[in-house]
A = this chain, B = another copy of it.
Amino acid sequence: MSSKKIPLYKQLKQIIIKKIERGELKPGDVLPPERELAELFEMSRVTVRQAISELVNEYVLVRRHGSGTYVAENKIPHGKKLKSFSEDMSLRGMMPGSKICEKNIITNPSANMAAELRSAGNLLILKRLRLADLEPLAIETSMLPINRFPGIEDRDFQNESLYQILEDEYNIKIIKAQQKIEVGMPTPQESELLQINYTTPVFRLRQVTFDQNDTIIEIAHSVYRGDRYNIETEIYR
């Protein structure tokens, strides 16, 4: 089989996701019962449940006790969708823009904030000033394990979307991101770049982005102008 080293439950997750992507499973459809899946894929029911549980946590599936497991109806709500800056701006009806501030390769990620990427080898540091309707809106610093994306350092990040490049040309499936949102005041440098007063508070957003194998593909630290940006989200009990 296609085993290699990928855990069985992750393989099953991928199979289910693929079926949904290909339209073989549509929102509202029932999955086969857990016992049946177990037999079909020759794994134990516990393993099937582990795969399903994670997909439920990711809002892909919904369990109904005594009834069955279903493909989630209302996909991920708007506020729970991971968007690139460009996509985010477009949805808000603003024109996205970029200005490269810094593009470096760090060969020794030691005392960095990138603790999670420390083992990843060299890092590409990309610091961009982000514009909305030609006005500064955010400063975005991305860190990528460059070994996984050979040649990416030569791309034109001024006009290309980072996510677009990763998805289209490196065949990465971006799945999810964890975000930590803080408030703060801008440093003098930041207030100058963002063209705001030093009394204007900012969002500080730390993001860790994962692909389909739960591998970290990016760590980003963004500073958003508090006077021009807000965050909408939806949470469940």
List residues of A whose CB falls within 8 A of some B CB.
46, 57-59, 76-77, 79-83, 174-185, 199, 201-203, 226, 230-237
Name 22 A/B residue pairs within 8 A (Cβ), A-sorted: A46-B46, A57-B57, A76-B236, A77-B180, A80-B233, A80-B236, A82-B236, A82-B237, A83-B237, A174-B237, A175-B236, A177-B234, A177-B237, A178-B232, A181-B231, A182-B226, A182-B230, A183-B201, A184-B201, A185-B201, A233-B233, A233-B235
Interface centre among A57, A81, A226, A236 (most CB of B within 10 A): A236
Q: Are B179 and A235 in contact (CB under 8 A)?
A: yes
Contact (A232, B181) CB under 8 Å given A57-B57, A81-B237, A237-B82: yes
Bound CA–CA A237/B230 (angstroms): 19
Contact (A80, B184) CB under 8 Å given A46-B46, A57-B57, A226-B201: no
CB neighbours of A181 from chain B (8 A):
181, 230-233
Q: Are B230 and A179 in contact (CB under 8 A)?
A: no
Q: In the assembled complex, how far is the CB of residue A123 from the closest CB belonging to chain B, in whole angstroms?
A: 22
CB neighbours of A177 from chain B (8 A):
234-235, 237
CB neighbours of A82 from chain B (8 A):
235-237
Contact (A175, B232) CB under 8 Å given A57-B57, A183-B183, A201-B201: no
Residue ID in chain B nearest A58 by CB atoms: B236
Bound CA–CA A235/B83 (angstroms): 9
Of B176, B180, B232, which contacts A232 at CB under 8 A? B180
